[in-house]
Structure formats: structure tokens, C-alpha cells
Structure 1
């Protein structure tokens, strides 16, 4: 990673933090990386997940008991935890592309951080319960966090570089997963192929990989991972939603495949076309909510095209029929978190703009702006529970149930890309990595 690129990024962050701290009445920000939690009635720990507000300042994702102390107008200080420990891996003192931008102090014990912390005109962000009696400032002030969340939506060139690399890693792994599927691997074996190609373990993945064969593609967050391979005669479809990490930034990509040529393969191809039309709609000043509504029009078109519904796309959207087949939102912000923060936020000061009542799972209601990063992920599924409700509703006669039964064994299709909004164009990081 280029040192100057990160230096410019941190300079932008420091300017942001200076302004936000001044507006919120603080001089100092104390950000804790987090601490591992012991499993109930056990002496093993749950996998450690870093505080995202910590990795927003420094690209350290795997070291608990560390701190960033930022004082307005000053070089940030990193308290980096390096215990004397023969049981666990101890990371080396940082000497990398970002380390010159911090004053670094090494901590042998977590309590040594007390000597560097102040509570005077300070705010603290992190898990507060473990610091009773510590002078760390106002704990998790929501007016400050709202400002930080709002600003996170606007990415810097360094962040774009990390997101592109995360996509490159993930696309390489997606290609390995498709090869494993074509070779007849089980869901578990496909996941192993993905992790190997990515060069990242399950705990480094930004979320649990969704890998579903056949009907399992209709389970939106399916992570069960059957170990049983399917005989060739039973191989029909494959849906994979999986990402990768680069310096704490996430990729979040979905692809669907048919094992054989036929109607489901045609549906997958048609969904690719619709998805790219929606990507093109990510233009500055546009409404993400309206883009989501446009997505339902396109799902209605596919349902009509493939004979699933007997009514028009417009009627299917108006009646809510399309929501049975696409119950989730079009996409979300992407960055340091898979579902990055601020998607429903009304203004820098806070407030919530909820999604329309008919689309409760839409994660973004913000106006689309330059330098924001989104996922676009339309889907069309045959979900037993939702189909059961539809069959008992007044809309049942508008459905070709014979066609539903024909397509139900394939589960569903979802196509998801990761996209940067520029002033004059959209950059589809995912398809750039695929070369199409």
C-alpha cells in the first residue's frame, strides 16, 4: 500500500475529526479497539471483532486492548497492545505503510493505557462496561457518533483502493467456488475452496459465507454448509454471497449459477442484465429509495417474462406481489462494515429516515452522492414460507403455480456488485475484477 495515499487519507480524517470534535464540544477522542469475550462456562474466547470506529482511524483489525487517542490538531497516538504471552500470537510492533503517521506506545498490560488517557473534555467510543472508574471521558456520546457515522459515507482515495483490493480478492475466490460447484463439491467443500483462494480464514471474512445449493438458495442468510455432495443428477443451482477483507474494508459479492442450460440459466442471465441497469441508476442526487422501487419494477418484468405471474409488472408492484419474490432491500452502504453505518440517517446531527412501510428491510434511504459506495443486489426467490402466505392471499390467482413449482427446486437468484459513485460515472469494482 502506498504510504502517501494513506497519509493523505489520514489528513482528511484528522480534518473531519477536528471539525466534529469542535462541534460536539470535545478536545480528545479515546477509541478502544475492543476486548475478546470468554464463552459462557468455558475458558475459550469468541472470535475477536474490532470496534469499527477504531479501524476507521488505524488499519489494525486483529489486536484487542489497543487504543487510538486523538487530540484536536495533534498527531494521533496509538496504544498498541503487545503482552508477554506464550499462549497466543503476539503481533509485532507496527512498522508498515501507516505507522509513521502515529505516535506509537506499546502496552504490555491493558491497564497501562490509564497513564495515557484523559477524561477532560474527552469522548470515549467503545465497550464502556469494562472501564468503570477509568477517566476516559463521556462514554459513547450519540451526537458525536452520529457525526462520525454520517462522514463515513464519503470515502477517500485510500478507501477506494482498499475496497478495490477486497473485491479483487473476493472475485478470485468466487471463481474458485464456481469451479468447485461445477466439479460436484459439497457446500462445505465449496466454502473451503473459497477461503483457500481468498487466502483468508473464516474469522477474517467480513461475514459468514452464504453458500447454498439448490433450494438452499432461497434461504437469504444460509450458512449451514452441508458436507454431503450431491449426485450429478441432483445438481441444479448454486448461490454464493461472500466477501473478503483489505485493511478492514469489506467486499460483499453475490453470484448465482445454473448447473445446466435451461430456464433457470436464462433467469440468471436476465437478472445480470437487470442488475447492471440498476447499477447505472447510481447517480449523484438520485434517491436510493426510488432506485429500490425501480428494482421491484424490474423484478415484476422478470416474473412476467418467465411466466411466474399472470398480471402486469406495474400491477404486481402496486399490489405487493413482487415482495413475495424479493423481500429484502436493493442494497446498502459498504465500507469498514458490510452494512456500513448511516444508511437511514437524516442529517449529520442524527435523526432517522425510515424506509417506506412496504419495504421495511431497505437499509439505505440517503440521497445518492459522489464518493459513496453501495452494493446493488436484486434477487428473485422461491421461499416456502412466503409462497405459503401468498397462496392463502387474495393475490393467489395472479400466480402461475405450476411455474412456481418448476422453479422452486432452484431456490433463487441474486446478483450483487460493489459500486463507487463518482461525479460523472459509476465504477463497478466487482465487474472490473471479473473483466466484464
Structure 2
């Protein structure tokens, strides 16, 4: 085994996955040099700071998949960490609701997956129990996951970065990685800092956690062309205060296999607000959170991606449905009213949209599982969709285990 007494690690990205990886490195290798690079001026500036804050229990994922395994481990680690750090966390519970008998078989299949994945205390419940748990919700059958929780993922990220710095690590904000080269001896990063000057730095190992830019970062180092990131925005609306207490927890639809995304649901936040959403539509820019700052480079990358056109051809019906929800707030809210009839006529205000870093293969199929690519001394997260935030600390364990085993690293003091 090799000592990491003088080794250096670069972590690219200070979202929750990058922060978790950096924390795992400083915890496991206290003598090593760990540097986190983040092109934004703050941590958690992108996907981590633009999501609904749900700690997923592991209901939907293919048993045995990386998602299923790391989600359950991630819940354990996330819960313990939030409690230790005083980060807001509430196990409010979740209901996946079937509105009609045709949805029952799909809901029963989700229940079977949840049981296979080891999700604790899940149960199928009828209308009476559904009304007891959520008096304002309706349905013919529901899956109850009592330990699904809500959290402040940005708060977790800040706490992780604080721990990295307390452990001797360094955070370099407003510093963009513009190139990565890898050889047998290590990795060279080219970065552009706040002064707009470029510099090169040598590291023994690099771990990329770049979210919306993950494919571009990996390709800098010689990674595969696919999967490629195709950005989809998700718009949430915040219900008016009069409807803030309409639910005790979370209410989700049964996923429809005819549509590529989950559908509109109701999500309680740790600050007490109630959200409706999200829709899902192509984003004209990987960081176009306002909807107005169209990214020409990002849009061109989508339009020249043959896989995207194959995806679009297969999902035209879904695109039309989502577009109507984008342009009509009433249509958007109607999706939630079907589950909670008392929302009829409710007022809601759109909040800053999130953008999903959705990986797509060359045939236009959405990549469902986590994807991690190893390129010698560099490792890149290529796909970490939901439950990526929930699983972040487990993903960090997994990556550091793999890097340690591959390169014979030993955490000598």
C-alpha cells in the first residue's frame, strides 16, 4: 500500500457531491492535501441549491443498482450528519398515490422494489388510512414511506465544506477548471481564478463532481463522449400561506411509463413552505435558472446531439404535456389538485427553477443509474440524478474506496 502522507487531491465542484467527496478524503487521509475548486462564488450554487430538499428512501430504484445500494447507505449517513451538525431535517413521510385502479399494478411494483431495497416500514394503504395520514388527499391506494424526509441540502454542503477546511483542506471559490490532463504520474489542472488569470497546478489525484458540466469536464481528461448532459429545467411553485399547512408530508403520483420524468407532486420544505412541481422541459442553458439567459453553447450542444433528437421523437407527447404546464400556471396546478382537491383555486408563485443534469446515451435513452468514470488518476461522476443528493455521502465513500483500492492508497498518519 502507498502512503498518502504527501499526496494531493483536487476535487472539482463544491455542490453536495464534491463537498462530500472532499470531506471523505480529509477524514480518511488526514495527512493529504485536499483542494476543492468551484467556479461559482459560493458553494451549493447550482443543482444542490435548486432542489426540493427531499431525502429519498429508495422506493423506485432497480434492486441491486448503484442507486439502490448507495441511496440506502446515503440516508443513514445523511441523517446522522444532519443531526450531528444541527442541519434542519424532518422525517415527514411520503405517500405515492394511485388515483384510479389502472395505476394499482404500477404502485404494487414500486412497493415490491422498495421492500427489495430494504426501505423500512413501507406499506400499501387504502383510502381510509390515506385520509388518516393526509386528510386533504384522495386516492384508491397509496404507498406510505414514513421515513422519507426533508432537509436543507445547501446547509449540509456548507457544513461539509466547513469540515473540510477544519481538516486542513482548501476551498477555491470563483475558480473555474478549464483543462485537465492525466498521465501515469498525476494530473495537471488549468484554472482561471477571480483575477481572470490562468495557472496550472499538479495533483496526484483528481475527482470531478461537476454536475451540469460533468460531461465536458470528463472529456477534457479524455473521457467518453457519452453519456452527454442534456439539461431539463424543473419549475416549482410555492403555495400561498393559506395553503401552507394543507399536507403533513409529501404526496407524489405513481410514475407513468409513458413519460420520462416523475410528474408534478407536492413537497413540504424544512422552512414550512409547500411546493408544487416540478414540470420538466428542455432548458436552453445549463445554468439558465431565470429562463431568460439563453446559453448559446449549451443549446447548440443539445441541437447537434443526435441522441437528443431520438429522445425527442419518442417523447413528443410528453413534451407537449409539459409545455402546457410551462405556459399555463392553472394547468400546472391542476396536476396537484387531482391529489389534493382543496387546492382548487389556490394561489402559487413560481420560485427559481432548478436544472437537472440529465445524462443521455447516444441512442437517446436517459441514463438511470449513477455513472462513475475512471481515467487513470482521475475519476469523474458522469451521472448523479435523484437521489444523488441523498446518496452523496455514500457516493463519496464508494469513490474513495475505489480510488484507494485501484491505487493502493493507505491512510497513514
If the length of structure 1 is used for normalisation, what is the TM-score?
Answer: 0.22
More helix by share: 1
Asked which structure has the greater RCO (Cα within 8 Å, sep 6+), the reply is 2
Larger Rg: 1
